[in-house]
Amino acid sequence: MAKLYNCIQSEFEMWTAYSPERKNNLHTKKAKKLPFIKYPDGVPCTEANVYMLGLWSRSLSQRTEDGGTPKTYASHISHLIRYCYSREWAFTALNDDRFGDFIQFIHHETNKFGKRVRGINQVRLIAHTCIDFLRSVADFHGDEALIGDQDFHAIKVEKKEVKTFVEGMKKPRITFHYTHGSIPKGDSANKRLPIADSAAAAIKKQIDKNKNPYVKSRDTMIYQSLEQTGARRTEVMLLHVDDVREALRKAKSSKSDTVNLQFTTLKRKDDHTRQVPVPVTFLHNLKEYITKVRRKIIKGTIGKENDHGFVFINVRTGKALKSDTISTYFNKYKHAAGITDECFAHLIRHAYLTERLKQIILEHKFKNKDEFNRALLNTEQFKMKLQQWSGHTQPYSLNTYINLAFSDLAGVRQTYNAISLKSAVGLVKDELETMQTDLKNSRVTATEIIEKMRSLIDAFEMDIDLAIKINKENDEENNANEDSEEEQVTHA
């Protein structure tokens, strides 16, 4: 089904204010990537585009390569636009029953396999966006009776208060949103569950079967980037070659016990980056892809002089990949592997965050969630580490992962050193399996395998040295604490 919107591609600017004191009089603001919406017959949808302008004026994030938050909203209201168009209804002709029927339609819509197209939480997101859109439509037409919380409104919605506890504030931040009786209750059971180990292994196996060596190498590194950094799919697509080179340079020259890779952090109104600790083995694999695969694709397509610098590219055109492409690839690999459970890129982020929280719990020897949360509230360095890994602005966003981490660690005795090496060991194992397959299918020579093995071992050795250093520092700290406790007992 064709999309009803396209994001403006040119360096488009719009005026925001007029000032007689300024030389050029008009204040302008960039509006590149702003969605432009049409009806299914190609006629522009005035109300929808006015709504998009409203989002733009509110400065909702559109810094990503594919339109950001406004594009998501455009996708959501497209369902209502298409639904009303097919029934020849104006938006102002909607009422409680018709809006309720629309919600039921998107809730129960199925694909060609007879499975529901979207989950309950996605239905809820679409419904709430459509309510916001219809309130904009009412304002545009001056129709005070279209939507509201009074009995005389055609679409009766309920205004609900939402309390958000923000770090550093004594009182919660209070906001309001509108809901409708036809909107299903949220499905908390499937919220933020990490990808299953079996599903992850099946996806990797399908990637490894790809007969195109360029696609195989690129998709392997996309998966590793999601798995080893916990970055959102769009953040992975914004990864730059220079960021990888800088991380490798620091890995070789720095005496630090961590190696970091820079990512653009989304879900912020301002430009923001964060440094994510990664295994050296992962950086090595990225470098191999960039120098031996990406470089050839760029040379054979857009040329070195037109290189945009983004790590992940289309193998046929050389252009930077869009985040939606990851979802397309995941669906393809999921169906090929026969996976029936939920399996999409963001679940890998959930698995990453759960594992990193388990690291912190073991490192600081937290006994329960209460101890953990007290440290989260009182230790600035602790909060910074979590925000660096996750990119969340508020630590309370990690509550679900904290619960999962303590659940996974219940009754388990592990050392921090073992967990810190887990990612690197997994990468080496995956790489060895890939080499075995390539050698078996005569894709590489024995000489090339030996060269890859040497390089891989060097990178893994660096990860081992870092883990030993961390473990040694932890032992020294623990011994110092024990000595201090003994002194206190003696003085007592």
* Displacement of CA 255 from its chain's centroid (Å): 31
Greatest Cα pair distance in the chain: 86
For the cut 90, the answer to whether the pLDDT of residue 357 exceeds it is no
Percent of the chain residues past pLDDT 90, beyond the cut: 33
Angle at 78 between CA 77 and CA 83, to 5 degrees: 100
| Tokens, residue 398 | 């990690």
304-335 pLDDT per residue, tens: 999 999 999 999 999 999 888 888 888 889 88
How high is the pLDDT of residue 70? 85
Name the residue with higher pLDDT: 165 or 197: 197
Nearest to 355 by CA among 220, 205, 227: 227
50-55 average pLDDT score: 90
For the cut 50, the answer to whether the pLDDT of residue 486 exceeds it is no
12-28 pLDDT per residue, tens: 676 666 666 666 666 66
The residue with tokens 């949103």 is 177
How high is the pLDDT of residue 468? 60
Q: Are 257 and 466 in contact (CB under 8 A)?
A: yes
d(CA 33, CA 46): 18
Flag whether the pTM goes above 0.75. no
Name the residue with higher pLDDT: 142 or 435: 142
How high is the pLDDT of residue 410? 60
Least reliable range by pLDDT among 3-17, 89-103, 209-223, 414-428 = 414-428
Nearest to 180 by CA among 230, 239, 241, 132: 132
192-211 average pLDDT score: 85
Name the residue with higher pLDDT: 214 or 366: 214
What are the DSSP E strand ranges found in 4-157?
A: 5-7, 13-18, 26-30, 35-37, 147-148, 155-156
How high is the pLDDT of residue 407? 67
| Cα torsion angle, 397, 400, 406, 408, sign | negative
Model confidence at 246, pLDDT cuts 50, 70, 90, reads: very high
| Tokens, residue 475 | 């032992």
What are the DSSP E strand ranges found in 9-145?
A: 13-18, 26-30, 35-37
Name the residue with higher pLDDT: 2 or 59: 2
Kindly calculate the radius of gyration of the chain based on its CA atoms and give it in whole angstroms.
26
Q: Which residues contact 218 (CB under 8 A, 6 or more apart)?
A: 289, 293, 294, 312, 313, 315
Q: Which helix (H) or strand (E) element contains residue 439?
A: helix 416-440
d(CA 203, CA 56): 38
Phi/psi of residue 195, each to 5°? -65, 140
d(CA 46, CA 148): 22
408-461 pLDDT per residue, tens: 666 444 444 455 566 676 777 777 778 777 777 777 787 777 777 777 777 777
Q: Are 202 and 296 in contact (CB under 8 A)?
A: no
Average pLDDT of the residues of the chain: 79
Angle at 27 between CA 46 and CA 11, to 5 degrees: 65
| Tokens, residue 47 | 């109300």
Q: Which residues contact 17 (CB under 8 A, 6 or more apart)?
A: 26, 27
Model confidence at 489, pLDDT cuts 50, 70, 90, reads: very low
Q: Name the H helices within 254-318.
A: 280-289, 295-300
Whether domain 197-478 has CATH 3.90.1150.10: the reply is no
What are the residue ranges spanned by the domains of the chain? Answer: 5-179, 197-478
For the cut 70, the answer to whether the pLDDT of residue 53 exceeds it is yes
Name the residue with higher pLDDT: 461 or 141: 141
d(CA 221, CA 238): 14
Percent of the chain residues past pLDDT 70, beyond the cut: 70
Dihedral of the alpha carbons of 173, 73, 130, 54, in degrees to the nearest 10: 70
Q: Are 117 and 109 in contact (CB under 8 A)?
A: yes
206-213 average pLDDT score: 91
150-159 average pLDDT score: 94
How many CB atoms are closer than 10 A to CB 142? 7
Name the residue with higher pLDDT: 453 or 127: 127
187-196 average pLDDT score: 63
How high is the pLDDT of residue 416? 40
